[in-house]
Structure 1
């Protein structure tokens, strides 16, 4: 990036302190933009920016497979003309010349703006932000990352003789900033450091098909990563799939792992997306709020501020503060996710789930799924190993991009998992689970165990009865 302003000291989480890796000075940048806009006759504008420095390594049988460092920046500028139409442009140049060109380009593009899509500033773009506890970490040298990942690979390979390779692995760290400014005085700035570890092992025994499984860990820095736990989980899951057998096609009671159920809900998140509702690509309608969507004890909440959400954002692409939002409570659809434009169409306040663009996107942050407080929570004491009949444990879903028809509600997805019968668990060789998300939400029996924090949300094991399982022919 060219001509970055010099950072100041500011309040933590909203603005960087001198110990952070900040490169942006939001106040100075806002003043420069305002001056440049006035000199070009532009009255109304906003800017969203994200910048990051990434370092990552991968290994293969004790040798470096990839060592990568990258600096990325994405700056979006929007300008409103006198007719209220919006033009948008992108740049990576924050010099005066670069900003002037971006403003001029957006101004010129506004003449071709869509009169049917006229976003405005969020009325909450200057509201107070929640305080986030996000410790900042200094980046580690790339050779340190490499040594750490090599040792993790060695430890995982040593867990079982059948584990021959760890074909997919990675250790990465990131220092990032997000910024939102507008001509009405909104000024949002957040600095964040994160790290991630991914280990995916492959095991094979003589005369048997290879089996694979993996685990992931997130943290604010590499020192926060639970490396031993990641190795243990990847090993346990891989080894548990070695003794496999085919499954007969039929209807089964299924137990979704937290990760699998969160993936399924995420694939159908258009149910809660006001943008999708307005565009006619959601199963929900404008008048669906208040209708029964699931069993009466189910709660689904979007809570990007949960302490377990590493990488939480204090504000969305329009500067609206992130806040918890009940989507389903007591089985009833309570709220939609909104941007400024969709909130205006529904006559409600923005919820903090917007992107930034001429037509603003809307997306979920981080789901909390479980029993509605005060409800019976469904069947109590569920345990797959003491259940009378056979149950299918769905550990992970595949091909979500191809096997889900979100606007129709149907899905047909390959999965990895186990058949548990009479207390004995055996891996399923190959199978597909199919159904309709509306039927799934109405067929939830209850929950097993405590809710688990995952990269995508918080969820317990979820029991669903009567799902169609197709075994390998």
Structure 2
């Protein structure tokens, strides 16, 4: 696959011609394709070198009765498109009359300008040499660091298009690169400890490799001197990554599709409810300058835009597709996938402290406080330990017990609670936002969380 963009105008003309011939008056198409190169290493040797190309096309057709049929394919040739259109037309006879998607009313609205210049790839050989150097550097940071069980360096490009029989025509391309390093350290008579870091950039030349190495080394070494923790309730400070993982695991609270399907903590009339403390703000901001993977429109062609989800602690909006927005009597928000039953999902969470607010715990600062607290670095087993529709979580975590500024790594422990209680038990949101690879968030303090030590 070349990196030259798909000729969407020719594609639309071709589909219009095919649809006219088959008597199809309403159709749309969503397509994505990507190419990537990735490398992994193991103690100075290449472990895996992989190049891949993927493409996926989804065609939907509305028949005379208004029912929708859908076909997916990876064949963008003339014959492939013809088969997809015909297949979707035939499938429309079996469409679900109770859940019929339509065109987004914003599919032809102006899309935002994104400042995401395309970057040239370096090639798999250069990636391999860079990762081997990074591994050597990280292994040399401490005698106990003896392997990097998980590591990867990749670069690639991707493209998304959306077009429909009503004249909508969308196209976007981007490049992206990622490096991930996780070190494992082991000392005699002690349990293995590990720590990792990740960096993203528009291209592999822009990746902060040295920063990634430093962070992975620092995290790993800081966990070597570990001790058990007593079971109890603690003042807890979540790192930005950990809190974003936690709130992301419960994103069905803001998902209109999940609300309609009855698998969300929220109900249709929940807008306006107090979900969190009054100084907590949460926005889904897919256009944030730090969001490397930003796209200007979603799977239905709706423009991407910042969407306030929680403002001053109140639930402000749900994430919507065209179909859910129609059910709620609002406009689509730009968070839809493409399908017969359209999925809805968040882009990029940005958590901030409401401007001008003060708290009784403003003295709390994870870098300088005399209070005893648990600093949660990362949450594990999110797929198994979260019951999103019930609000409950019980998760193993990595972190430290901090006493008078002195950190002691926690040997093994589990943190548990209910997300609704967590959001209402926040005592401090630090004022400095931190950009991570998955969103923007300050350090967040929650009081009275239950921690079970494995002592």
Q: TM-score range by the shorter chain?
A: over 0.9
Partner of 1:314: 296
Write the deviation string for residues 4-63 of structure 1: whole angstroms up to 9, x where unpaired: 9xxxxxxxxxxxxxxxx2330111111111101111111100000000111000000010
Question: Which whole-Å CA distance do the structure 1 matches of 2:202 and 2:172 have between them?
Answer: 14
Q: Which residue of 1 is the match for residue 218 of structure 2?
A: 236
Q: Are the equivalent residues in 2 in contact too, given 1:201–1:213 (CA < 8 A)?
A: yes
- C-alpha separation in 1, matches of 2:202 and 2:166: 33
Alignment partner, residue 387 of structure 2: 405
Cα distance in 2 for residues equivalent to 1:378 and 1:43: 62
SS, match of residue 182 in structure 2? strand
Matched, 1:210 2:195: no
Q: 1:374 matched to which residue of 2?
A: 356
Shift of 1:379: 2.8
Distance 1:43 1:176, change over 3 A: same
Q: Partner residue of 1:350?
A: 332
RMSD: 1.1
For 1:109 and 1:151, the matched residues in 2 are separated by 53
Q: Is the contact between residue 46 and residue 182 of structure 1 (CA under 8 Å) also seen in structure 2?
A: yes
Q: Report how many aligned residue pairs link the two structures.
A: 455
Equivalent position of 2:77 in the other structure: 95
- Structure 1 residue 249 corresponds to structure 2 residue 231: yes
Distance 2:447 2:371 in 1: 12
Deviation at 1:386, TM superposition (A): 4.4
Question: How is 1:101-140 mapped onto 2 (pairs within 5 angstroms)?
Answer: 101-140=83-122
Are 1:52 and 2:1 matched, yes or no? no
Instruction: Please report the TM-score for the alignment, with normalisation by the length of structure 2.
Output: 0.98
Matched, 1:227 2:229: no
**449-458 or 202-211, which moves further after superposition?**
449-458
Tell me how far 1:92 sits from its aligned partner.
1.2
Structure 1 residues 70, 386: CA separation in 2 closer, same or farther (over 3 Å shift)? closer
Offset from partner CA, 1:46-89 (integer Å, 9 cap, x none): 00000011100000001000000011000000000011110000
Query: TM-score, with normalisation over the residues of structure 1?
Result: 0.95
Q: Distance in 2 between matches of 1:394 and 1:70?
A: 36
SS of corresponding position for 2:432: strand
1:73 equivalent to 2:55? Answer yes
Unaligned runs of 5+ in 2: none
* Structure 1 position 370, deviation (Å): 1.6
Where does the alignment leave 5 or more consecutive residues of structure 1 unmatched?
A: 5-20
**Equivalent residue runs for 1:261-272 within 5 Å:** 261-272=243-254
Cα 1:41/1:321, change in 2 over 3 Å: same
The answer to whether 1:40 aligns with 2:22 is yes
2:278–2:314: 8 Å Cα contact kept in structure 1? Answer: yes
CA contact (8 A) 1:392 1:417 kept: yes
Change (3 A) 1:191 1:385: closer
Residue 156 of structure 1 contacts residue 235 of structure 1 at CA under 8 Å; is this kept in 2?
yes
Q: 2:167 aligns with which of 159, 179, 185?
A: 185
Matched, 1:294 2:266: no
Of residues 405, 409, 417 in structure 2, which corresponds to 1:427? Answer: 409
CA contact (8 A) 1:385 1:420 kept: no
CA distance in 1, matches of 2:183, 2:340: 43
Partner SS, residue 450 of structure 1: coil
Residues 171-182 of structure 1: pairs in structure 2 closer than 5 A: 171-182=153-164
Aligned to 1:458: 440
**Deviation (angstroms), 1:447:** 2.0
1:62 maps onto 2:44 in alignment: yes
What is the Cα deviation at residue 430 of structure 1? 0.2
